[in-house]
Amino acid sequence: MIRPFPSHGLLDRVLRILFPGVLLLLLNGCASVSYYSQLASGQLQLLRSREPVSEVIADPRRDQQLRAHLTQSQKARSFASDHLRLPDNQSYRLYADIGRPFVVWNVFATPEFSLAAQNHCFPIAGCVAYRGYYSQGAARGEAALQRLQGMDVSIGGVEAYSTLGWFNDPIISSMMNWGDERLATLIFHELAHQRLYVKDDTEFNESFATFVEQEGTRQWRALRRLPPDNGAQARQRDQFIELVLATRSRLEQLYTLPLTPEQMRQRKAAEFERLRAEYRKIRDSQWAGDKRYDAWINAPLNNARLLPFGLYDQWVPAFEALFRQAHGDWPAFYAAAEKLGALPVAERKTALKVLAGP
């Protein structure tokens, strides 16, 4: 049963009380006051921008395309709880217009000759390989400081994220350029994070959510009697990721060699040029010239830009196997995934490798 929406006035009063305490808790870490202040104020602004999706849909003064898109989103939202057994709360039954293309910008950083991410740890989310900023200018400022220290840096805009059930996450205006099915997959993915999240294990969390997203989308299409996705775009994505991961592997080996900094830079640049050449060969010979990844490949490349690859799908085959073992029963699958998540890190990775097979 869905609880009624609290009044915004009451919600604001509660948040005014809670946020200073949360901020003080966060500041027990080593990060700066200004950084956590922008996190708290950015999250508060997002929460205060929320309004019930039902009210937006019912308002004839709102954009007709927006209302139609939100109408379809609510069908997927109900499917997520009714069929995929994901959390039944107000998340994604709210809408927030933020007036910018991304909700946050993530800053990734690595040493010049290393693929070890500069990790940042938070009380709720655990350790992650980036710092998030609600302002693009603030993200660029952080990136500039990191570059001055000789780091490889990358900035990535993010259209959506999950607060892991701490708040009712809204559908955000930054998602509205997506098609109906892409928005549905996002809802499945982010609600999966609310269903299960293991602290300090990004590969586990993202692979779990990606599997729920993919299997959920397959079942969502089947329910609507749509033909299965032919997988062409997914195959292209997988090929592209394989190219990037192969480059990352070669760079890891390169950085162990006893070379001078100048020699290392030359070999590093050569590896990125090899990546570009291999990409163009596959694009032109196998993808009929599809240029969907051209913008990424033609932009300046460095270690930090390679960091996100592989995080989202490393253990997807393991979760596919776990779902088969659960005979397609979602509650049984979630229970088995929770048992995996509760294992010590080394045992968890061993179990995932066994499930994934060769």
Q: What is the mean pLDDT of residues 170-182?
A: 92
Q: What is the mean pLDDT of residues 156-163?
A: 89
Q: Residue 29 and residue 9: Cα distance in Å, rounded?
A: 31
CB 137 within 8 A of CB 171: no
Q: Residue 316 and residue 203: Cα distance in Å, rounded?
A: 10
pLDDT the model gives residue 344: 96
Q: Residue 276 and residue 270: Cα distance in Å, rounded?
A: 10
Domains of the chain by residue range: 8-223, 237-306, 316-356
Name the residue with higher pLDDT: 152 or 27: 152
pLDDT the model gives residue 143: 96
**Which residues, 6 or more positions from 167, have their beta carbon under 8 angstroms from its beta carbon?**
43, 47
Please report which residue ranges of the chain form alpha helices under DSSP H.
8-26, 33-48, 53-58, 64-82, 136-148, 180-195, 202-223, 232-254, 261-286, 294-298, 303-306, 316-325, 330-342, 345-356
The pLDDT > 90 percentage for the chain reads: 72
Is the predicted pLDDT of residue 186 greater than 50, yes or no? yes
**Which residues, 6 or more positions from 299, have their beta carbon under 8 angstroms from its beta carbon?**
305
The radius of gyration of the chain from alpha carbons, rounded to an integer in Å, stands at 22
pLDDT the model gives residue 231: 74
Span 107-129, pLDDT tens digits: 999 999 999 988 887 766 677 88
pLDDT the model gives residue 124: 64
Q: What is the mean pLDDT of residues 203-226?
A: 95
Query: What spatial distance separates the first Cα and last Cα of the chain, rounded to whole Å?
Result: 44
Count of CB atoms situated within 10 Å of the CB of 268: 21
Looking at every residue in the chain, the average pLDDT score rounds to 89
pLDDT the model gives residue 259: 97
Q: What is the mean pLDDT of residues 255-267?
A: 97
Is the predicted pLDDT of residue 103 greater than 80, yes or no? yes
pLDDT the model gives residue 3: 35
CB 105 within 8 A of CB 136: yes
Span 281-336, pLDDT tens digits: 999 999 988 999 999 999 999 999 998 887 777 899 999 999 999 999 999 999 99
pLDDT the model gives residue 33: 76
Q: What is the mean pLDDT of residues 197-226?
A: 94
Q: What is the mean pLDDT of residues 267-276?
A: 98
pLDDT the model gives residue 123: 66
Span 6-60, pLDDT tens digits: 444 344 334 434 444 444 444 444 457 788 888 889 999 999 999 999 999 999 9
